[in-house]
Amino acid sequence: MKIERVTTGGGRKLYIETYGCQMNVGDTEIIVAIMQAEGYIYTRNIEDADIILVNTCSIRDNAEQRIWGRLKEFQRYKRAKRSLIVGIVGCMAERLKEQLLEREPIVDIVAGPDSYRDMPRLVEAASAGSKGVNVQLSQEETYGDIRPVRLDSNGVSAFVSIMRGCINMCAYCVVPYTRGIERSRDPQTILREIGEIYEAGYREVTLLGQNVNSYRWKNEAGEVVVDFPRLMEMAAGVAPDLRVRFATSHPKDLSDRLIEVMASHHNICKAIHLPAQSGSSRMLQIMNRKYTREWYLDRIAAIRKAMPDCAITTDLIAGFCTETLEDHAETLSLMREVGYESAFMFKFSLRPNTFAARHMTDDVSEEEKTRRLTEIINLQNELSIASNRRDVGKEFEVLIEGHSKRSEEQLCGRTSQNKMVVFDAARGLKAGDYATVRITDCSSATLFGELV
């Protein structure tokens, strides 16, 4: 006799919109896996949805404003289908908790980043007419056993989350409050997932965490048996033609050992995202970053020495509390000194509850933040073009991701340094193949080349 497990989804259709970082994209894939196992069907069409979930971001105020705006738009779907359930999940759910229900009556579910296993029950509660709320953070949850359902993937590169949460307590940052304490995922489950991805045809994996350098897996006696450099070695050992990347590193923890491991494996990509946030040691101290400009530059020198071809990218914040024109000038000079390949650049946004909100004053005017950010962006554009120009004439191994956006006759893919290359297609070459490409031209965002 066949015994069927009773599921609660009953074929109801689930639609999810994702905002924020790669971790959130990964979490959405975990939510879909959990819901599919309960008999829900994933849909890309919002009109079909019985349940709409929004996986949210709180990192800056404008990220939250965008989501409030989007919630207003959902009202019309709710009017069209009275049984429609709307859920807010992720960082904004964790930050605002029940307040979300008060501010926006169309919301039925509020679920924080550690409560996704509870999602089916929360939907049940909402279906029964009450509100489903779970914003409990966990010290252990890593969803290590769940196989994410890969959505919107190019079939070539995939992200694998190796840890959750953060304990760094940068003065500006809301993440420790929304994603909870740092915890590492069991390396066995990580390697199993990477192996499955490779078997499915993927050729590039990015190991993800808020601060991957502090990844550590302990045995029962509490000894660290796998640290991040070791995990990278193990990941690189899965297959020689599987590229391995990682994001994000905290400069304070970027070890010589990791640099050594990167330099000694062909399939570990030569690209490091190393958020500096500021070039001024005074600002770094106020931000509680736990390194100085000198320390940061020493790490850059160590990377360059071991891997002269390594791309270095960064995050920068303009106008944090008390930032002077001298501090700002130091950020510009750090950018020149490092010569970043690219950067994510932001105006400081004061987030409730953070150290900055509790103990500092947001004293750089909005106009001045905008002015400083514009200077930073303009300089980065120059640096990005200069970096791309240096690549003209060189040859790179490119992992093909598919056809270029503009033409079926052209392919696009990335170099180990994570730069996008567009080149003329050739018979037989397809997504997931490697090709050697000589760079002939560039724009600020793209390299153009020809097959060698």
Q: What residue ranges bind ligand SF4 (CB under 6 A)?
A: 20-21, 23-24, 57-59, 90-91, 174-175, 178-179
Burial class (CB within 10 angstroms; exposed 0-12, middle 13-18, buried 19+) of 166 = buried
Mark residues 391-410: x for contact with ligand 5AD by CB under 6 A, - for none: --------------------
Residue 14 or 317: the one with the smaller Cβ distance to ligand 5AD is 317
Nearest-CB residue for ligand SF4: 20
DSSP labels for 294-308?
HHHHHHHHHHHHH-T
- Closest distance between ligand 5AD and the C-beta of residue 216, in Å? 22
Do residues 49 and 43 touch, judged by C-beta distance below 8 A?
yes
Which distant-in-sequence residues (6+ apart) come within 8 Å of 360 by Cβ?
Answer: 171, 286, 321, 322
What is the total count of residues that contact ligand 5AD (CB under 6 A)? 12
Residue 115: CB partners within 8 Å, gap ≥ 6? 122, 134, 135, 136
**Beta carbon of residue 275, minimum distance to ligand 5AD (angstroms, whole number):** 4
Q: In whole angstroms, what is the distance from residue 403 CA to residue 424 CA?
A: 10
> The tokens of 159 are what?
């992200």
In the bound complex, what is the minimum distance in angstroms from residue 441's beta carbon to ligand SF4?
34
**Residue with the shortest CB distance to ligand 5AD:** 315
Q: How far is the CB of 170 from ligand 5AD (least distance, A)?
A: 7
Q: Is 355 in the site for ligand 5AD (CB under 6 A)?
A: no
How many angstroms from the chain centroid is the CA of residue 399?
21
348 binds, among ligand 5AD, ligand SF4, none (CB under 5 to 8 A by kind): ligand 5AD
CB of 175 to ligand SF4, least distance (A): 5
Q: How far is the CB of 351 from ligand 5AD (least distance, A)?
A: 5
Q: Where are the beta strands (DSSP E) in 203-276?
A: 204-208, 216-218, 224-227, 243-247, 271-273
Residue 328 binds ligand 5AD, judged by CB under 6 A: no
Encoded one letter per residue, x for contact with ligand 5AD by CB under 6 A and - for no contact, window 51-90 reads: --------xx------------------------------
Would you call 363 exposed, middle or buried from its count of C-beta atoms within 10 A (0-12, 13-18, 19+)? exposed
Contact between residue 270 and residue 310 where contact means Cβ atoms under 8 Å apart: yes
| Positions that interact with ligand 5AD (CB under 6 A) | 59-60, 172-173, 275, 277, 315, 317, 346, 348-349, 351
